[in-house]
Amino acid sequence: MSSVGSPPAFRRPASSVRRATVGALVASLAGGLLAVLPAATAQAAPTLLSQGKTATASSTEGAAFAASAAVDGNLTGTRWASQWTDAQWVQVDLGQSATLSRALLTWEGAYGKSYEIQASENGTEWRTVTTVTGGDGGTDDVTLSGTGRYVRMNGLTRGTGYGYSLWEFQVYGSTDGGGPTLPGGGDLGPNVHVIDPSTPNIQAKLDQVFREQESAQFGAGRHAFLLKPGTYNNLNAQIGFYTQIAGLGLRPGDTTINGDVTVDAGWFNGNATQNFWRGAEGLTLNPVNGTNRWAVSQASSFRRMHVKGGLNLAPNGYGWASGGYIADSKIDGQVGNYSQQQWYTRDSSIGGWSNSVWNQTFSGVEGAPATSFPEPRYTTLDTTPISREKPYLYLDGNEYKVFAPAKRVNARGTSWANGTPQGESVPLSRFYVVKPGATAATINQALAQGLHLLFTPGVYHVDQTINVNRANTIVLGLGLATIIPDNGVTAMKVADVDGVRLAGFLIDAGPVNSPTLLELGPQNSGADHAANPTTVQDVYIRIGGAGAGKATTSVVVNSDDAIIDHTWVWRADHGEGWGWETNRADYGVRVNGDDVLATGLFVEHFNKYDVEWYGERGRTIFYQNEKAYDAPNQAAIQNGTTKGYAAYRVDDSVNTHEAWGLGSYCNYNVDPTIVQDHGFKAPVKPNVKFHSLLVVSLGGMGHYNHVINDTGASTIPAGTSTVPSTVVNFP
């Protein structure tokens, strides 16, 4: 029987109703949350800290139901009760800062259906430790992490028509200190090069790093050049592997280079298809000859850039290129696409665009060509439905801060067109600055303290999962900081909380198989994050290439409303440690959450499905895929009665889904006789819609019978000509 349409064992019910008891929620979180606290904090057994302490509340139902009744130890005799409205809280002052481990909430009949447990050092600035959804009354035993003097239950939604009513609110933890508190802020480590216009020998330093990184595709070097606001003359910053260049101004106009930021492909004989893992951000360029060259392929971002001239996306000699991504940028002149096979541009302004090759997609781009797919192969959306730009480091006077841009709805053009962008500035003192040699235990301790993370350029082995459990946490990498999970752990897990921002790092699978590499939300996540979604931006996944690596599923998105904005999820087809079983990785991205949006999704070479979508109302704007080159024969990819696994599959249970600008390519160079039945698979339903689809056989190395399901012409008649087979709209 064909496995097409068969759900994974852990998928949520097709009804999309994901209510769970708190007990089930805690069970799903406990493994990760308990791992957060470093060993040093577990020396003393958790004790009851709240009983008899000072308690206050947002309201009471009457004098008999004071906040103090929730911490008096009288389990079923006295209780706190609020007024009969939502958004009520009760808090307790523990008397001193404590390491938190557990909260026990004994509800009367009027219970909290959804609520947050929050902690604070001063009683005014609160951070969410954990969020409970789908509560059903009774007793809730909630695992906590982090520190705080004040702890409160912040009610969001009542379970009944009455208020919130607690017989007892018990907070457990320890006050023995549990080891030293980690400091926030500090220097940016050895691989960050901070320069200003007066710095001597800037060009020489740029050239030195480029010589090291130009062809170091799988090397360990990591670098970030951060340019203080000002004007830099006569620079040509050539950008190699694992190198980031960025301005330290709040706006691109604060940092100007009279010169170029260049990516070319001389190291690879004029072929730019392997110019991966690099980036440029937050600069204004006045190119020397009027046009800046940025000949990149996957995992190379161009953000918040203002080019006062043209932008050439092809290498010198106009050889092959397989990029790429532009966001929140202004190109005054024409973007010369030339040999770029595919490209996605979002929320920008351009002076024009040339050539189309296979798949050029635009959303929210002023000056973009109109949709004309299949020829020229342009797909254009006037706006981007939801976007929130990547956080970035900047200087406010002499103080480093991270700017977290605000969410935009139906965005068009840059976020900075009218001056200062909208958003929040977070001082570096609220970040743990992660430097080479840091351990997972230390990183988790920092998160538990309520700090954000700034990974400086380097390679980080982690022997336990990095657990991001607090709402609005920022995890920002510089210089393509790389996280390698050891012993088969999941590299990073994010709780089902609001507003987490992951940006600017690479997760590289280790030699022991990991079940997953990145998880957003635990199974059956159900909280509504529409107002403040989690975002994943310039976060790249690699399995093999730098050495043998394995992972069953690379990225799992369980949380609702998440935004995946530019990712490359790649099972290696060259380098070291690759082969059909050597870097086995069956699934690339699996989306279980509802209302998830992907803008700029690149997923390649997985042994089975590259993308599987189970959530409702999912949307993808631009998708690029290559099937696994190294399949040994037809039998290796046989999927029941179906030939091959689709590059992008929407589950039969899904009723609403929409996608624009999707391409899948095959290059079965081990066995060129392999045939895929289709590149895309989806249920035929009125609200499951695809626009601008294509499949391509690269030089006749394998073929597709159809584009999507049984629709679309075979690539076989095209032979070796690499002429795409297209479908304009489906169904």
Q: pLDDT by residue (tens digit) across 294-342?
A: 999 999 999 999 999 999 999 999 999 998 999 999 999 999 999 999 9
- Please count the structural domains in the chain: 2
Q: What average pLDDT does this structure show over 49-53?
A: 89
Whether 250 maps to a domain, the answer reads yes
Active site residue 168: no
Burial class (CB in 10 A: 0-12, 13-18, 19+), 700: middle
Whether 496 maps to a domain, the answer reads no
Work out the pLDDT band at 52, boundaries 50, 70, 90: confident
Rounded to two decimals, the pTM is 0.81
> Can you read off the two tokens belonging to residue 106?
């004994």
Q: Which residues pair with 727 in a beta bridge?
A: 693
CB-based contacts of 153: which residues, under 8 Å, 6+ apart? Answer: 89, 90, 91, 103, 105, 112, 115, 116, 117, 164, 166, 169
Contact 140, 107 (CB under 8 A): yes
> Which tops the pLDDT comparison, 70 or 40?
70
Confidence at residue 520, expressed as pLDDT on a 0 to 100 scale: 98
Catalytic residue (choose from 281, 366, 626, 658) = 626
CB-based contacts of 159: which residues, under 8 Å, 6+ apart? Answer: 110, 111, 112, 113, 135, 136, 137
**Three-state secondary structure string covering 490-547:** CCEEECCCCCCEEEEEEEECCCCCEEEEEEECCCCCCCCCCCCCCEEEEEEEEECEEC
Same domain, 197 and 322: yes
Same domain, 210 and 324: yes
Whether 351 maps to a domain, the answer reads yes
Secondary structure letter of residue 229 according to DSSP: S
Separation between Cα atoms, residue 134 and residue 148, nearest integer Å: 26
Provide the CATH number for the domain around residue 70. 2.60.120.260
Separation between Cα atoms, residue 103 and residue 169, nearest integer Å: 7
Q: What residue numbers bound the domain in which 259 lies?
A: 192-384
Work out the pLDDT band at 273, boundaries 50, 70, 90: very high
Give the residue from 174, 202, 218 where a domain finishes. Answer: 174
Percent of the chain with pLDDT over 70: 93
Same domain, 119 and 216: no
Same domain, 231 and 363: yes
Whether 57 maps to a domain, the answer reads yes
Confidence at residue 177, expressed as pLDDT on a 0 to 100 scale: 52
Same domain, 169 and 244: no
Same domain, 205 and 315: yes
Give the residue from 174, 204, 232 where a domain finishes. Answer: 174
Same domain, 94 and 223: no
Work out the pLDDT band at 28, boundaries 50, 70, 90: very low
Q: Has residue 7 got a pLDDT over 80? A: no
Confidence at residue 179, expressed as pLDDT on a 0 to 100 scale: 56
Same domain, 128 and 236: no
Per-residue pLDDT tens digits for 68-93: 999 998 888 899 999 999 999 999 99
Amino acid identity, position 536 = V
Q: What average pLDDT does this structure show over 87-110?
A: 92
Same domain, 243 and 153: no
Separation between Cα atoms, residue 247 and residue 284, nearest integer Å: 9
Give the residue from 148, 174, 200 where a domain finishes. Answer: 174
Same domain, 230 and 373: yes
Confidence at residue 293, expressed as pLDDT on a 0 to 100 scale: 98
Q: What average pLDDT does this structure show over 347-359?
A: 97
Residues in the chain: 731
Same domain, 224 and 170: no
Mean pLDDT of the chain: 92
Provide the CATH number for the domain around residue 229. 2.160.20.10
Whether 102 maps to a domain, the answer reads yes
Whether 286 maps to a domain, the answer reads yes
Same domain, 235 and 292: yes
Confidence at residue 414, expressed as pLDDT on a 0 to 100 scale: 98
User: Is residue 33 within a helix (H) or strand (E), and if so which, with residue range?
Assistant: helix 22-34
